[in-house]
Amino acid sequence: MTYRDNIDKLARRITDRIPAKVKKLSQMDPEYECLNEILNDEQCDLCLCFEVRKPLSFEEVVKRSGWPAGRVNRVLNEVCDIGMIEYNWENADHHKQFVLPQFVPGAAEFMVMNKDLVEEHPIVADFFEKMTRLPLEKVTPMVPPGGAGIGMHVIPVEKAIHANQEAVSVEKISHWLNKYDKYALSPCSCRRQQRVRGEGTGDVEADVCIAVGDMADYVVQTNKGGHYCTYEEVIETLERCERKGYVHQITNIDGEDKIFAICNCAHGVCNALRTSQLFNTPNMSASAYRAHVDSEKCVACGKCVEICPVGAAKLGQKLCTKAGPVTYPKQELPDAVKWGPEKWNWNFRDTAKVNCYETGTSPCKSACPAHLPVQGYIKMAKEGRYMDALKLIKDFNPFPAVCGAICNRRCEQQCTRGLIDEPLAIDEIKKFIAEQELHEDKRYIPLCENVEGKFFTNKMAIIGAGPAGMSAAYYLRMMGYPVTIFEKEEKPGGMLVYGIPSFRLEKSVIEAEIEVLKAMGIEFKCGIEVGKDISLDDLRNEGYEAFYVAIGAQGSRKLNIPGEENEMVESGIDFLRRVNKTEDPNLISGDVVVVGGGNVAIDVARTALRSGAEKVHLYSLEQEAEMPASFEEVSEAKEEGIILHCGWGPKEILEDSIVFKQCVSVKDETARFNPSYDENVLETIQCSHVLLSIGQSIVPIQGFDVEVNPNGTIKADGTTLQTSVEDVFAGGDVYTGPKFAIDAISHGKETAESMHRFVHKGHSLTIGRDLHLFNEFDKNNALIDIDFDHAKRQIPGIKKGLGEKSFRDLRSTFTEEQVKIEANRCLGCGASIVDTNKCIGCGLCTTKCEFDAIHLTRDIKDGARMVKTEDKMKAILPYAAKRQIKIIRNKKK
């Protein structure tokens, strides 16, 4: 291909890359490669009439080019549409003038804003990425606080600094909005760049960039996708972006008197944030502020951690260790250290989403599969802020009332308070809070919208209305998606309705929380079995773009012993389904034998007692202490008269009895499930019904071509839950095998994130993803102050007058007094920690804290400095010289 000298000349004129300025470019240099592809000779030659950032009137361009005015007008319109030339009316007589901008911020992003151009020439996206990185590789360590007129500058959430007496005008968004009287919203160029490059992080292109003044006209009039908006629409956009966790940044190349845009930047795609995070040089973009945590007020809810765009806030512990306070590492800065690629963080998009320090945080949050903010809602309950507590819980779990009734309480099992006396009654407090959901006038209906305050058009299909499926629907709807749940049964709820007896989970509890989903706009289509009544292809043809298979494990496992087909034998799952549909107290009669030792077996046994059985015998392979069922469930079963027979396995089933053989061991020497028996020790028991509850199996969807494991569970990626069929995801019991509702709920939330990313092509399912990885601190090494509340663990009461064989849940909820007593028992052992060396002072953390525990302070005196690009070396060199002196001194030391 013929080398074009005019392209070389123009590229070298604009670039900030020193090596590219001083010698002829190769055809592989990004500046040459991009401009060569998008500019013809006529367009390039007209651009060469300009010097960078030096405006020319139309008449001046005509004079310099020597072309007729008509030709100049035509080509100017072309290069303005492309993004190589911008215009404004900032001269003294307010006549239109044209400017050749620098590449970044400037021509590179203007080109990306032209959607037609970047779709036709993806090289433009690569060019933008390189021009925000390559020129700065050696410069960033030398940049003083405030950025020195290089690119973009973080501006804090204004309400986070409203009371700060030291705040200066340029640090406030209101100052800049009031300075201009024209605004336009346009799509974010960084988001588009990463999407085109296949590295989107789920932050989709949207009208979130706010052009101000003459730039508003430019983005509207030159094919940049902009549209004029009002001041009120700008404020609404800013507030939505704060809710979504986007950082406000202003352009910082024109000094303190001018900006041309306010951006709302996502951590995983923003080039400006990327530059400071990649090079570990936060001075490139940080504001004058840093966040600080008041550990006494902090309750380790983790909301600040989730929203922090740079990973400066992480969860740690509040309790000291026996050796003293925990010290947390700080990000090294280049202030007095030689800085090169060995100091960079190429993995910055992922490390920004690390939630927890290696030394760990509160065990309750770590142990919960959904990582509920236990300390947070307990503190709110203590203060009587029950609706606030409900909202906080539902950010992490859409079904707190359900879980309050049936959760297996892993948070309590790990509670630090258990080292002293008894663990906190966390689940009972949650149950009290969640009772708000049972009253229609007190229900919390979350806000559902995308970042533009609208709804996406991408239709999402959920197959199965159990906890996994409904959780995914809940979070997808909150993101702004049309969601439909397909359920083969007559009612939604899955095993919550048909597999769990009402004395453990009242149907009214499930119905109340499902009503919230309906109020959010989620559509339920019941009585439709996907694979039988409608196929996946049918749904694709109806416009559904992603599918979540959450059908649970609704089949039963067989014993494979003689007599199993006897009429008196029924699976426990089928029995529970029959009972839950009618709650008939005369469904069966005589003596009943239940085979199994898990929670479902206990449910089956207790349900049989309520359904007409005279006696119920439960046979388990394990001894009582090793039974999979929870201790509380076993105790309740025994209190109701269930007769336990431990250490027995079924041998054969006769017409009116079942024969058991003694189980010698349940596991082999490798700790795998592999029972061995003494065939000479037998026990025969007469019965009228045998209910098998030895495990559940997967009932596959008909005609569903997806890879499965040998046990029938669906194969899916452990992080994204994507299956072998690209648009199909799976979670809950159909993926893990039988587990607990809270595990299914956590899968639902993760799948919602994956489906959201999937339907927006060009977005990675993994880059910059919050993996929600937590580990608990070493409780045994914690120093627990003796000055704690010594109240005993509270115990909920029992409802009177219903009878112990009632199908109703006899367990009462805590009284308000009990809630406050129990909440006072919390040791508050976790806390958020902010690394001020990483913090960029955006203030987003303060918008999420419900406890007034995190604030911005103006730590960096010169952090709001705004310098013209032409003067940037005057700002950089003095700071660079001082830094170099420090480096030399450190070497001598």
pLDDT digits (tens, 9 = 90+) for 440-477: 888 999 999 999 999 999 999 999 999 999 999 999 99
pLDDT of residue 874: 87
Beta strands in 489-550 (DSSP E): 523-526, 544-549
816-742-517 Cα angle (round to 5)? 75
pLDDT above 90 as % of the chain: 87
% of the chain at pLDDT higher than 70: 99
Q: What is the pLDDT of residue 804?
A: 67
Give 150's DSSP letter. S
Question: Residue 748: enclosing H or E segment and its boundaries?
Answer: helix 741-759
Q: CA-CA distances (angstroms) from residue 208 to 156, 211, 753?
A: 16, 10, 20
Question: Which helix H or strand E contains 97, and what residues bound it?
Answer: strand 97-99
Cβ burial of 432 (10 Å; 0-12, 13-18, 19+) is: buried
And the tokens for 123?
Answer: 């090289």
Q: Tell me the mean pLDDT in the region 480-499.
A: 96
Say whether pLDDT at 1 is over 80.
no
Distance, in Å, from the CA atom of 857 to the CA atom of 884, rounded to the nearest integer, reads 29
CB 826 within 8 A of CB 266: no
Banded model confidence at residue 802, pLDDT cuts 50, 70, 90: low
Residues contacting 594, CB < 8 A, separation 6+: 572, 601, 604, 605, 608, 616, 617, 618, 619, 691, 693
183-187, 242-246, 462-466, 795-799, range with the lowest pLDDT: 795-799
State mean pLDDT over 392-397.
Answer: 97
- pLDDT for the residue 447: 96
pTM of the model: 0.95
Predicted local distance difference test score (pLDDT) of residue 679: 93
Amino acid letter, 645: H
799 pLDDT band, cuts 50/70/90, is confident
Res. 166: pLDDT tops 90? no
Query: Does residue 164 surpass a pLDDT of 80?
Result: no
**Strands 544-549 and 459-463: what pairing?**
parallel
Task: Note the pLDDT of residue 805.
Answer: 77
What sign for the dihedral angle of Cα 638, 642, 645, 646? negative
Mean pLDDT of the chain: 94
Over residues 586-594, mean pLDDT: 95
3-state DSSP call for residue 664?
Answer: strand
Mean pLDDT of the 341-349 span: 93
Mean pLDDT of 721-729: 98
Element (H, E) at 665: strand 657-667
Quick: pLDDT tens for 870-893: 988 888 999 899 999 999 888 877
Question: 234 and 248 in contact (C-beta within 8 Å)?
Answer: no
In this prediction, residue 394 carries a pLDDT of 96
State the Cα angle at 235 between 230 and 239, rounded to 5°.
150
Distance set, CA 371 to CA 202, 313, 703 (Å): 22, 17, 36
Q: pLDDT per residue over 124-153, tens digit each?
A: 999 999 999 999 998 899 988 877 768 899
**Number of C-beta neighbours around residue 783 at 10 A:** 11
Q: What is the pLDDT of residue 77?
A: 98
Q: Which two tokens stand for residue 83?
A: 């993004």
The tally of CA atoms less than 13 A away on the side-chain side of residue 154 is 33
Which domains does the chain carry?
Answer: 5-131 (1.10.10.10), 140-291+859-875 (no CATH), 313-439+775-834 (1.10.1060), 459-553+723-759 (3.50.50.60), 555-697 (3.50.50.60)
Q: Are strands 830-834 and 261-265 parallel, antiparallel or unpaired?
A: unpaired
Model confidence pLDDT, tens digit, residues 550-561: 999 999 999 999
**Are residues 151 and 272 in contact, defined by beta-carbon separation less than 8 angstroms?**
yes
Q: Are 781 and 363 in contact (CB under 8 A)?
A: no
Residue 119's pLDDT band (boundaries 50, 70, 90)? very high
Please give the single-letter amino acid code of residue 26: S
Residue with tokens 């795998």: 672
Coil, strand or helix: which one is 292? strand
Q: Decide the pairing of beta strands 648-653 and 696-697.
A: unpaired
Mean pLDDT for the stretch of residues 196-220: 97
